[in-house]
Amino acid sequence: MSEEGETTAPVLTAGAALQSRDFRLYQCARLMVIVGAEAQSVAVAWQVYEITRSALDLGLTGLALFLPGLFFMLAAGHAADRYDRRKIILCCYGLQAVCTAVLLWLSMSATALANGRIWPIYAVLIGIGLGRAFSGPAASAMLPSLVPKDHFVNAVTWGATVYQIANMSGPAVGGLLFTLPLAGALAAWKGAPVVYLFTLAMLLSFIVLVGMIRTPMERSSKKAFNVSTMLAGLRYVWQTKLLLGSISLDLFAVMLGGATALLPIFAIDILHAGPRGLGLLRAMPSVGALAVSLTMLVYPIKRRAGATMLTCVAIFGAATVVFGLSRNIWLSLIALILVGASDMVSVVVRSSILQLATPPEMRGRVSAVNWLFVGASNEFGEFESGVTASWWGAVPAVVIGGIGSLLVTTGAAALFPRLRNADALTAESLRGAEQELAVAEPVD
């Protein structure tokens, strides 16, 4: 405090958000559970493709994860605004732990997946998708409660960094565990079962750590559970063009340009890299994203955030085209690093806009809309990739998708000038855009 009695503004450091105990607990929990989930995704993808040899069946794994979010998005958003967000998260991850235990049983059973029958895997994935549909909005809306307001963008960057570390290591762990040489009494655990057991341990660890969080959770909405209240998040996003532009850009660019579901085909049939090669391919986007996120912790985006986001989404599309055309494992890995690096910038900008431009009482429902769009770009994007690959082949599907991402970026720059001209990632910078719009939900 100065001699005149005025408080000086705190100097933000790269680790500002980590000063919060509960934020540290939550990020440690996320690190473990995402590593487990990514390892599990490698095992599921390998199992499905090994049984069916079908690109369409690979794509259906993404659809199974996405459908619950599509049907329950509105209810999940309202629940996140009305009930204790931490308890919602704990219940949802408890459900995912049960589902992973079922995957473990299926992979150990001699008859459950016999004769090419894989519908039990899809049924379990729908259960996992249901848990994610409700936990996603609650987790996103909970984040601002864990850190001071001035530390929020730093917290978003740390959250993205943790996510990318887990995304980078999870697939590699999954590939290594899947090929772990086991003999004797342990031979029955070889392959998918050992991966699912690891994922189950990570889920249980997540539940313990989140249960230790003591920060009071906001429950701003007291409104009745009805269609009008649940639709408020959609109305707010539609009216807030800055939000609509950033979310829709991510939706269409990643949905068209995503090649994750097809990586087993590239690893097995095109690059001949095997399970460990698949793990490396899955990890490379996170390597690029991690490098960028660590850089942004020290040198955060201060100006021209919108233009920077659009430029990086264009790089994402171009790198996807290079990956689709590559027949060299090293060039493919470099292209995927660029895919992850460019997408990381989009993630930080979009996540910051989402929370800073949204009132606290609307965060759950707006986050639910965002999670639906993210699910559409990721899980439904995997289904889209599987369908187009079954029509045209894996290589044309990826190349055409990358070109589509470039076209989407050009369209977004023209249709959403507010996004194109977005400057600093601060509440003050975004407040003017918010104040020009009608409030989506009437004040009580």
d(CA 169, CA 337): 14
Residue 188 has a pLDDT of: 67
d(CA 216, CA 221): 15
What are the distances in angstroms from CA 42 to CA 69, 110, 198, 282, 290? Answer: 22, 21, 13, 8, 20
Structure tokens at 112: 């459950």
Mark residue 216 as left, alpha or beta (left: phi above 0; alpha: psi -120 to 50; beta: remaining).
Answer: beta
Residue 128 has a pLDDT of: 93
Residue 208 has a pLDDT of: 95
User: Which stretch of DSSP H or E encloses residue 156?
Assistant: helix 152-178
| Digitized pLDDT (tens) for each residue of the chain, 444 residues in all | 334 444 444 455 777 888 889 999 999 999 999 999 989 988 888 888 888 878 778 778 878 887 887 788 778 877 877 788 889 999 999 999 999 999 999 888 766 676 767 888 999 999 999 999 888 888 887 887 888 877 877 888 888 888 878 877 888 788 888 877 776 666 667 778 899 999 999 999 999 999 998 877 655 555 555 566 667 777 777 777 777 777 777 777 777 766 777 787 888 788 877 777 777 887 788 788 888 888 887 777 777 777 888 888 888 889 989 988 888 888 989 999 998 888 888 777 777 777 666 766 666 777 777 776 765 566 666 666 677 777 887 788 888 888 888 888 888 888 777 777 766 665 555 545 444 443 444 433
pTM, whole model, 2 decimals? Answer: 0.69
Mark residue 304 as left, alpha or beta (left: phi above 0; alpha: psi -120 to 50; beta: remaining).
Answer: left
Residue 361 has a pLDDT of: 66
Q: Report the top-level CATH class of 16-215+227-435.
A: mainly alpha
d(CA 42, CA 282): 8
The 8-class DSSP code of residue 243 comes to H
Is the distance from CB of 31 to CB of 162 less than 8 angstroms? Answer: yes
The 8-class DSSP code of residue 218 comes to P
Is the distance from CB of 103 to CB of 326 less than 8 angstroms? Answer: no
Length of the chain: 444
Sign of CA dihedral 264, 269, 271, 273: positive
Residue 8 has a pLDDT of: 43
Q: Where are the domains of the chain?
A: 16-215+227-435
d(CA 370, CA 373): 5
Residue 30 has a pLDDT of: 94
Is the distance from CB of 380 to CB of 367 less than 8 angstroms? Answer: no
Residue 437 has a pLDDT of: 41
**Closest C-alpha among 69, 178, 190 to residue 130:** 69
Identify the burial level of 232 via C-beta atoms within 10 angstroms of its C-beta, where 0-12 means exposed, 13-18 middle and 19 or more buried.
Answer: buried
d(CA 203, CA 100): 9
**Closest C-alpha among 23, 174, 45, 26 to residue 93:** 26
**Closest C-alpha among 192, 84, 101, 209 to residue 139:** 84
Give the count of beta carbons closer than 10 Å to the beta carbon of residue 442. 8
33 CB-side CA count, 13 A? 25
Residue 5 has a pLDDT of: 43
